[in-house]
Amino acid sequence: MQTTPQTIPAHLPRLAARYDLSSEDLGDLAERCAARVQRLADLWAHADTPPSQVMRTLRRTAKRHGIYMPHKEGAAECINRMCDSAWWRRALRKRFRAVELHAIQTGAVHRRASPYVSAKALRRHELNASRLAAQMDGLEAINQTTGEAVPMTELIEASLANPANRRAALMARIKGIEASALAKGHVGLFLTITCPSRMHARHAKSGAANEAYDGTYPGKAHAYLGHVWGRATRRAAHLGLIGYGLRVVEPHHDACPHWHLLVFTPADQADAYAANLRAYALADSPDEAGAQERRFTVERIDPAKGSAVGYVAKYVSKSIDGEGVEGDTESDSDGRSAARRQVAWARTWGIRQFQFFGVPPITPTRELYRVSAKGLPGKALPELHQACKANDYAAWLAAVEAHGLRLGVDYTERDSTRYRGEVTKAISGLTVEGGDLAQPLSLTTRCDTWRIEPRSKVQPPPSEPAGAAGVFSPWTRFNNSAPIDAKGLFPRNARRAKSEEGEERNETAVRGSVLHRAPLPGAGRGDWESARPAA
């Protein structure tokens, strides 16, 4: 059964068409929006407009464009961001979720069409990745102390932005957690939680439309699973149940998410932990067909048959780059193709794919790695440092627990280079307490300051003197001269300028504020989120 246009909310196709912009058009719109807010900001500064009135106008502007306001309370901070075209580009990209929801509801996303994400969303993701790669290729990081210049591509290759490094780091941490759990006599559980049937647009095997689908979009389904998990873990804490491990989020073929949980717990608490989570997973629609069998599943990990690392390796790899995954049953494709689609799905909906719980944060581990062992006081801290350098996360956890060490991250404040009048925080070091330390110890882990600049390129010596052929290189990076006859060369820009002129006539300054036109019906922030097929 195919979803018919009559079952789609009336405003969703219109919003999808309006928001489905090319990268160039989205950039142009971001520039215009930022310039318009800058003009308003100049009026507000001249007229000393009250902050409350400024915020009301900014909220109307955001609603008219279907975006979220900056996550800031102060009017000055909001103005700074809404005058920045880069901020607008990020905000406007989130509108693609309405385009993708329309694709889901019209049957363009499922195993028989385009699994996990629509073909358009996948293409957009890959074009954006190519654009970013080209941009990084033209940049370099300059050390402000030594003057050392390192191409950004080299830094990315050596960082966790490299999928191979990210996968290896995740697997090393999982291996360490498992070794630590086995040393304590704890057992491993592999749990899977899925959403109720009403949140699935398509049936699992056939790909046919699900008559019970209520229009829930993947981000909302993910939030639902987070709510289930939050309530279950709070109840587990009240019951004194211990659980720690890793959460992996994956999409079904129709883009609806489900969670895989690798949980370690004391052997005598395993049944109670699983039963508690099962109760919350089945609290919603427990009597629908297949709920008891498929909504929540539990597998006990038997170390004699395989490790916990082996259980999650496929899911971790399939969510990063597909390395070592032969095939994907959900999408009927190979591992690398499935990984490309899953990454595009996560980026489109802003879903965090991996999250550890019940274990110390990883940032102190990475920061201590930067420190030299020379001069570290006591015995506990050198032991911790040795485990860090050996990439032995199990030894790290054992040392932290055995010595009662507490590690915190220190930050330093500096003036923002992007937003005037604001300060930003950057990691500067670690604070270590406990163990055999007589008093808290501060360790500086980052001494150098880096600046990102366009990559300098050494030009080969010219074969003839500059200007010999009557052509001179511009003294800036751009040729500031217009063509001799530019009239008619940019018809689209001319139409845009005319459109802007018409829009500007609707902006009337009153005591430093502006009376905007009424927003288009259904174009406000979050209107598409409540989109659901008619009964």
> Which amino acids are annotated catalytic?
311, 315
H or E segment to which residue 96 belongs = helix 96-105
From CA 495, how far away is CA 491, in angstroms rounded? 6
Closest to 248 in 3D by CA, of 167, 188, 312: 312
From CA 299, how far away is CA 276, in angstroms rounded? 15
Tokens at 492, concatenated: 């689209």
From CA 191, how far away is CA 173, in angstroms rounded? 19
From CA 253, how far away is CA 394, in angstroms rounded? 36
Find out whether 209 and 107 touch, Cβ atoms under 8 Å: yes
Q: Token match 């300051």: residue?
A: 449
Supply angle C-alpha 230, 362, 157, rounded to 5. Answer: 120
Give the torsion sign (CA, 465, 470, 471, 474).
positive
Closest to 398 in 3D by CA, of 177, 244, 188: 177
From CA 334, how far away is CA 327, in angstroms rounded? 4
Overall residue count recorded for the chain in this entry: 535
Is 145 buried (19+), middle (13-18) or exposed (0-12) by CB count in 10 A? exposed
From CA 429, how far away is CA 406, in angstroms rounded? 14
Tokens at 461, concatenated: 């010596």
